[in-house]
């Protein structure tokens, strides 16, 4: 049963309902040369096509003084299911960033690419540019299932490889079916032009969104005309690594191994991190474990969770429309039963599993195929050239060199260059050395290697404070404290965001910093290093001096009093500095 759009429904619900499957007046908006912005309704719809209208917030007051409209530009989020891109795709994204964007590429916390600073007049050309290498941006944003995340290294074991196949099939199953994306953006004849060899990785990424039949009528068998009440996220992980932070997702799928093969998944549902300051009825929440399902049933179960959320999710107030609140309202048992009824799959008892770590492991590894993989630290996920550090050029040279390798975006904004042939390894290494990229990974404190910062200023319209541009400098200061107590090798997760929405998953940081106003952050402590426990507010509105003042005695105590192998997040709880958050509903207590 599809919910109808009632008068009490939010504006976005009405915009979706009358959009004719996400078309709205986007074509007219794009062609209108009088303003750099879209018509208001289309600003909602373009999200489903993977783009956000933004302004350059650094220039806000100057533009207002000159009585100019804000400098509108667009962020484009390019989906990369499981984070796997080919060297050819990397090269194209690199090129598009220079040609139409602000010269940088952002690797996101969900294994996608973002271009920033694309003017309206260039949007179509930019989208067509990546469409031509079989990348797309449909469902990059919007009230649909977003980029599906998967543990970053499929070549590590048979389980990882199988996991990636499941991630791709989930991504394909829940991609919107509308032909609006192809109609608005795709270069004519693209489907016929593609030179991707059958069965190749590039063809695998091909989402079929362009393969439309003339006269085809639109239908969304899963989503319906009003799509989902809110964004929806799915991630897969293979224990002991929780590098995709599965519990932060609407659906988290924990791969279970039997005799070296993937046998199925422990399914978790109802994760989500966004909250609003001053509204304790909004809260970050980790997904609850529902039970075990076999691999062949996982798509049916995901579809049942999605349609349950479609039909029971709140469409009257977007602050309460994520699945986490639907589950809180329905009760976990009733929700589980609904999913079982809809899918026809009964959950089996949970299988044992143990996560150990939620970050990435850096450096070289050799996979089961004998090929090499290298995980590099990309601070804040930002790929750019600066005077002292030519990261973008280095990665471009590697992409041009690799005959078969791949660029895997990790869920922690880092990059794994994978499947490097043994005879190419030395050349890759010499390029990285030439540009100082290896030092950037190997000479960092473990704290920095475990850091995440969301975009925040200047592009994010919701930011109250800096994050990506500031965290590296704050870490310089914290590093000095760590060195003083010989703790520089201690892996502590630190995550900063410019507002409470949670894009850098700050409530899963052993040290979490959430922007409240320029220069001031709420400090959260006590998350589990493996992503299985949220943190809790320790100090409100701390500036840099305040943050350092709070952290130094804790780091000193950790150096002296920790038990062998004890993680910082567990230590601050054991020592009574903070009480543990055991469920989203007691996050604010
Ligand atoms: Fe996010 C909104 C950036 C991952 C929770 N997020 C935004 C917007 C689009 C701001 C806006 O609505 O105007 C940000 C664009 C900034 C810019 O200039 O690029 C933005 N989110 C990001 C990225 C790029 C952060 C990064 O630095 O990597 C991540 C892109 C992921 C992707 O590729 O799809 C990103 N966002 C997340 C995550 C982490 C995750 O999914 O693992 C979360 C927390 C998990 C969750 O969904 O609960 C997250 N973003 C939000 C929210 C709060 C949602 C909520 O339920 O309350 C918003 C605001 C909203 O939706 O209203 C938001
Ligand atoms: Fe913007 Fe807030 Fe997300 Fe950071 S957490 S990117 S400031 S919405």
Per DSSP, the residues of 73-90 read EEEEEE--GGGEE-HHHH
CB of 455 sitting under 6 A from ligand 2: yes
Q: Do residues 44 and 185 share a domain?
A: yes
Q: For residue 284, give the nearest of 265, 271, 299 by alpha carbon.
A: 271
CB within 8 Å of 77: residues ≥ 6 apart: 50, 51, 52, 108, 112, 113, 114, 137, 140, 141, 147
Q: For residue 242, give the nearest of 205, 271, 274, 275 by alpha carbon.
A: 271
User: The tokens of 197 are what?
Assistant: 């060899």
CB of 501 sitting under 6 A from ligand 2: yes
Contact indicator for 487, 558 with CB cutoff of 8 Å? yes
The answer to the question of residue 436 being in a domain is yes
pLDDT on residue 443: 93
The answer to the question of residue 266 being in a domain is no
The answer to the question of residue 475 being in a domain is yes
Contact indicator for 409, 80 with CB cutoff of 8 Å? yes
CB within 8 Å of 480: residues ≥ 6 apart: none
Range of lowest pLDDT (185-194, 392-401, 465-474): 185-194
Q: For residue 223, give the nearest of 139, 142, 342, 306 by alpha carbon.
A: 306
Q: For residue 360, give the nearest of 341, 373, 345, 350 by alpha carbon.
A: 373
Computed from CA positions of residues 334, 336, 337, 342, in that sequence, does the dihedral angle turn out positive or negative?
positive
The answer to the question of residue 369 being in a domain is yes
CA atoms within a 13 Å half-sphere pointing along the CA-CB vector of 339: 31
Percent of the chain with pLDDT over 90: 86
Final residue of a structural domain among 427, 445, 463: 445
Ligand nearest to the CA of 145: 1
DSSP string, 369-431: TS-EEEEE--GGGEE-B-SS-BHHHHHHHHHHH-SS-EEEE-TTS-EEEEEE-GGGHHHHHHH
Please report, in angstroms and rounded to a whole number, the separation of the first and last CA atoms in the chain.
38
Q: Residue 74 maps to which CATH number?
A: 3.30.70.2500
The answer to the question of residue 473 being in a domain is yes
The C-alpha atoms of residue 417 and residue 86 are separated, in whole angstroms, by 10
Please, which pLDDT band fits residue 186 given cuts at 50, 70 and 90? confident
The answer to the question of residue 132 being in a domain is yes
Q: Do residues 87 and 105 share a domain?
A: yes
Q: How many angstroms separate the Cα of 518 from the Cα of each of 29, 273, 521, 547?
A: 34, 22, 8, 14
CB of 505 sitting under 6 A from ligand 1: yes
Q: Do residues 16 and 115 share a domain?
A: yes
Final residue of a structural domain among 168, 196, 224: 196
pLDDT on residue 152: 87
Task: State which residues form the domain around 411.
Answer: 363-445
Query: What's the structural domain count of the chain?
Result: 3
Out of 501, 502, 520, mutate this one to test ligand 2's pocket (max ligand atoms within 8 Å of CB): namely 501
The answer to the question of residue 115 being in a domain is yes
Q: What angle do CA 219, 220, 222 make, to 5 degrees?
A: 150
Q: How many angstroms separate the Cα of 398 from the Cα of each of 40, 301, 418, 434?
A: 42, 40, 11, 12
Q: Do residues 488 and 541 share a domain?
A: yes
pLDDT on residue 192: 54
Residue whose CA is at the smallest distance from ligand 2 atom 2? 499
* pLDDT (tens digit per residue) in 443-475: 999 999 999 999 999 999 999 999 999 999 999
User: The tokens of 473 are what?
Assistant: 């400098």
Out of 501, 514, 527, 587, mutate this one to test ligand 1's pocket (max ligand atoms within 8 Å of CB): namely 501
Q: Do residues 184 and 48 share a domain?
A: yes
Q: What are the φ/ψ torsions at residue 388 (nearest 5 degrees)?
A: -100, -10
pLDDT on residue 3: 47
**Section 16-29 average pLDDT:** 97
Q: Do residues 463 and 582 share a domain?
A: yes
The answer to the question of residue 437 being in a domain is yes
pTM value is 0.97
Out of 106, 108, 146, 454, mutate this one to test ligand 2's pocket (max ligand atoms within 8 Å of CB): namely 454
Q: Do residues 493 and 369 share a domain?
A: no
Q: Do residues 576 and 506 share a domain?
A: yes
Å from CA of 527 to ligand 1 middle: 20
Q: Do residues 47 and 131 share a domain?
A: yes
Contact indicator for 401, 431 with CB cutoff of 8 Å? yes
Q: Residue 373 maps to which CATH number?
A: 3.90.480.10
CB of 147 sitting under 6 A from ligand 2: no
pLDDT on residue 1: 45
DSSP string, 182-218: HHHHSPTTHHHH--PPTT-HHHHH--STT-PPTTPPP
* pLDDT (tens digit per residue) in 69-85: 889 999 999 999 999 99
Q: Do residues 367 and 453 share a domain?
A: no
Beta carbons within 10 angstroms of residue 392's beta carbon: 20
Contact indicator for 539, 522 with CB cutoff of 8 Å? yes
The C-alpha atoms of residue 303 and residue 325 are separated, in whole angstroms, by 18
Q: Do residues 436 and 456 share a domain?
A: no
pLDDT on residue 588: 98
Final residue of a structural domain among 416, 445, 474: 445
54: three-class secondary structure by DSSP: strand
The C-alpha atoms of residue 180 and residue 147 are separated, in whole angstroms, by 19
Torsion angle (degrees, nearest 10) of CA 453, 457, 459, 460:
70
* pLDDT (tens digit per residue) in 292-348: 999 999 999 999 999 999 999 999 999 999 999 999 999 999 999 999 999 999 999
CB of 460 sitting under 6 A from ligand 2: yes
Q: Do residues 421 and 505 share a domain?
A: no
The C-alpha atoms of residue 570 and residue 219 are separated, in whole angstroms, by 49
Average pLDDT, the chain: 94
């Amino acid at each position: 049963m599809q919910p109808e759009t009632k008068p009490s429904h939010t504006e976005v619900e009405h915009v979706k309902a009358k959009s004719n499957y996400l078309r709205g007046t986007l074509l007219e908006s794009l062609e209108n040369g009088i303003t750099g912005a879209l018509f208001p309704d289309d600003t909602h719809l373009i999200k489903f096509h993977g783009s956000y209208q933004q302004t350059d917030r650094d220039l806000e007051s100057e533009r207002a003084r000159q009585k100019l409209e804000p400098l509108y530009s667009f962020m484009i989020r390019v989906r990369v299911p499981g984070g796997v891109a080919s060297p050819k795709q990397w090269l194209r994204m690199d090129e598009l960033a220079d040609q139409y964007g602000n010269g940088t590429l952002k690797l996101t916390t969900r294994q996608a690419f973002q271009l920033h600073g694309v003017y309206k007049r260039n949007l179509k050309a930019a989208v067509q540019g990546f469409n031509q290498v079989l990348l797309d941006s449909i469902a990059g944003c919007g009230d649909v299932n977003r980029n599906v995340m998967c543990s970053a290294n499929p070549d590590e074991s048979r389980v990882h490889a199988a996991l990636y196949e499941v991630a791709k099939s989930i991504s394909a199953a829940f991609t919107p079916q509308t032909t609006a994306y192809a109609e608005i953006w795709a270069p004519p004849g693209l489907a016929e032009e593609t030179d991707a060899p059958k069965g190749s990785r590039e063809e695998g990424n091909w989402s079929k969104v362009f393969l439309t039949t003339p006269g085809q009528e639109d239908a969304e068998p899963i989503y319906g005309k009003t799509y989902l009440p809110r964004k929806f996220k799915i991630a897969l992980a293979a224990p002991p690594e929780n590098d995709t932070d599965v519990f932060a997702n609407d659906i988290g799928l924990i791969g279970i191994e039997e005799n070296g093969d993937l046998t199925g998944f422990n399914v978790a549902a109802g994760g989500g991190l966004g909250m609003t300051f001053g509204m304790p009825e909004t809260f970050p929440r980790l997904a609850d474990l529902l039970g075990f399902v076999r691999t062949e049933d996982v798509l049916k179960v995901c579809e049942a969770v999605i349609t349950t959320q479609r039909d029971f999710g709140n469409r009257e107030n977007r602050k309460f429309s994520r699945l986490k609140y639907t589950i809180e309202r329905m009760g976990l048992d009733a929700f589980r039963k609904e999913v079982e009824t809809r899918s026809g799959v009964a959950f089996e008892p949970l299988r044992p599993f143990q996560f150990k770590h939620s970050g990435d492991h850096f450096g070289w590894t050799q996979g089961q195929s004998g090929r090499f993989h290298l995980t590099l630290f990309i601070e804040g996920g930002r790929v750019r050239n600066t005077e002292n550090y030519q990261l973008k050029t280095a990665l471009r040279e590697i992409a041009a060199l690799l005959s078969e390798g791949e660029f895997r975006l990790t869920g922690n904004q880092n990059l794994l260059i994978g499947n490097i042939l043994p005879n190419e390894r030395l050349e890759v290494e010499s390029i990285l050395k030439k540009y100082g990229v290896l030092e950037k990974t190997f000479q960092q404190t473990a704290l920095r290697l475990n850091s995440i910062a969301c975009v925040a200023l200047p592009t994010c319209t919701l930011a109250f404070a800096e994050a990506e541009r500031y965290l590296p400098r704050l870490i310089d200061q914290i590093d000095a404290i760590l060195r003083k107590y010989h703790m520089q090798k201690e892996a502590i997760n630190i995550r900063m965001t410019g507002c409470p929405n949670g894009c850098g998953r700050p409530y899963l940081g052993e040290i979490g910093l959430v922007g409240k106003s320029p220069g001031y952050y709420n400090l959260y402590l006590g998350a589990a290093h493996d992503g299985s426990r949220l943190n809790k507010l320790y100090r409100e509105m701390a500036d840099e001096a305040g943050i350092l003042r709070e952290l130094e005695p804790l780091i000193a105590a950790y150096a002296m009093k920790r038990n062998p192998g004890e993680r910082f997040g567990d230590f601050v709880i054991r020592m009574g500095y903070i009480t543990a958050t055991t469920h989203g509903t007691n996050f604010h207590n």
